[in-house]
Structure 1
Amino acid sequence: MTTAPSARAAAPAPETRGLRLVLVLLLLTVVSGLIDAVSYLGLGHVFTANMTGNVVVLGFAAAGAPGFSVPHTATSLACFLLGAVTGGRIAARFSGDSRRRWTRLTLAAEAVLVGGSAAVAFAWPDSDGTRYALIALTAFAMGLRNATVRKLGIPDLTTTVLTMTLTGLASESRLGDATGHRSPRRTASVIAMFVGACLGALLVLRHGLGIPLLIAAVASGVLAVVASGRE
């Protein structure tokens, strides 16, 4: 009686196949930089990924500061919250299921939403309706993603904000309490956001809004295919 090959017995579980979530979230941080470059530089000084900055921008707009819009910023906040609600519902639905499947589903939805915004930017580049559509689609996508990232609970990788990451990087450094065992991850997160924002700004200034949004959509789509469920 023959036995199964040892290689077959040692085959990795489906949940572990693919790119580790730490790397996936770092790459999504680059995508966030791209999207906020599009929204802030191209959609009237509004953020659609970084809601901390967006609340501050809403305060500027409410005070009448020039160059800021209450309707644009309020649209971004509302759509982000709707996306987060949807992400929470998806998390509840898949809480007992494969983390890999749940992550891939959310990233696929993000890719579709951001891809839709790229299509709108290419088709109608200069209308006020386009501005609202891009704000709504990208903010909803970022809310959906943020709800998922929050439920995944991987430390120091929120993908959209860096305040606490920078705080931990400084306070737990050798000049602080010297406990910063996750410093490489934090540093990588800061670099990823910087790279995404810089690349996004260059693309917006030279090529308009469609190209960076298309790149962001393709990146999210690829990550949806290759993400695993392991940290």
Structure 2
Amino acid sequence: MSEQTEEITQESRGLRLVAVLLGLTVVSGLIDAVSYLGLGHVFTANMTGNVVVLGFAAAGAPGFSVPHTATSLVCFLIGAAAGGRSSRWLGEGSRRRWVRLTIATEAVLLGVCAAVAFAAPHATATVYTLIAVTAFAMGLRNATVRKLGVPELTTTVLTMTLTGLASDSRAGGGSGRRSPRRTASVVAMAVGAFLGAWLVTDHGLAIPLLVAAVGAGVLAVVASGRE
């Protein structure tokens, strides 16, 4: 077996990136359920919603916080910058290694959040810690997913996915070729949000964060470098 063939075989070992990114989309639903329902109506994975929430908070709408939302936005951007740096360091080597390291880092960060939530669930510092660390983790992941460039799977934003699902469908005059992937992405986000909302409502913040950390950890172990 040639060195190039062996390298391709190594990269292909594990779960395809499409399935991995769908799994991360479920994790995103969990994280936004935790942040929106448990951390004062702020998003830490969905920055489109967060910009809107910041506008609500700045206008004085009840139930929203400028400091919480600004913390999320800033930490997400820092995470995205870190993701851009790591993509340049790791992206030229093994794609499988790059993906696994990034998702493993996310899993560790979410695990830290779960530990903090278990230790001091009602402390003010806990709220800011969870917002900051989950937003950083989502920024890191989003930068990586963007560099990977797997079509239709952003893992956190669904507006263009839903637009493509409708406009490229047969009803919209298209072929509907990518409809299964787009539909799976929407379903994955909804499943994550449902699971997160149920866990937050019945069990507080630590359990859903732990579930998200374990889920990301499993994906880090099984991910391959192939789409």
TM-score normalised by the chain length of structure 2? 0.96
Query: In structure 1, how many angstroms separate the alpha carbons of the residues matched to 2:92 and 2:169?
Result: 37
Unpaired runs of 5+ in structure 2? none
Of residues 39, 48, 51, the one that matches 2:35 is 39
Match of 2:178 in 1: 182
Question: Offset of 1:127 from its aligned partner?
Answer: 0.9
Residues 155-164 or 171-180, more deviating: 171-180
Match of 1:226 in 2: 222
Opposite residue 70 of structure 1, the aligned amino acid is: V
Question: Offset of 1:182 from its aligned partner?
Answer: 0.6
| Cα deviation 1:22-56 (Å, max 9, x = unaligned) | 00000000000000000000000000000000000
Asked if structure 2 preserves the Cα contact closer than 8 Å seen for 1:46 and 1:68, the reply is: yes
Query: In structure 2, how many angstroms separate the alpha carbons of the residues matched to 1:218 and 1:10?
Result: 31
Match of 1:110 in 2: 106
Match of 1:144 in 2: 140
Match of 1:49 in 2: 45
TM-score normalised by the chain length of structure 1? 0.95
Secondary structure of the residue aligned to 1:13 is helix
Superposition pairs of residues 15-94 of structure 1, within 5 angstroms: 15-94=11-90
Query: In structure 2, how many angstroms separate the alpha carbons of the residues matched to 1:79 and 1:10?
Result: 40
Query: In structure 1, how many angstroms separate the alpha carbons of the residues matched to 2:78 and 2:142?
Result: 11
Aligned length: 224
Superposition pairs of residues 125-144 of structure 1, within 5 angstroms: 125-144=121-140
CA RMSD of the aligned region, Å? 1.4
| Cα deviation 1:53-73 (Å, max 9, x = unaligned) | 000000000000000000000
Opposite residue 125 of structure 2, the aligned amino acid is: G
Asked if 1:202 is matched to 2:177, the reply is no
Of residues 84, 91, 97, the one that matches 1:95 is 91
Opposite residue 16 of structure 2, the aligned amino acid is: R
Query: In structure 1, how many angstroms separate the alpha carbons of the residues matched to 2:7 and 2:74?
Result: 45
Question: Offset of 1:190 from its aligned partner?
Answer: 0.2
Opposite residue 153 of structure 2, the aligned amino acid is: L
Unpaired runs of 5+ in structure 1? none
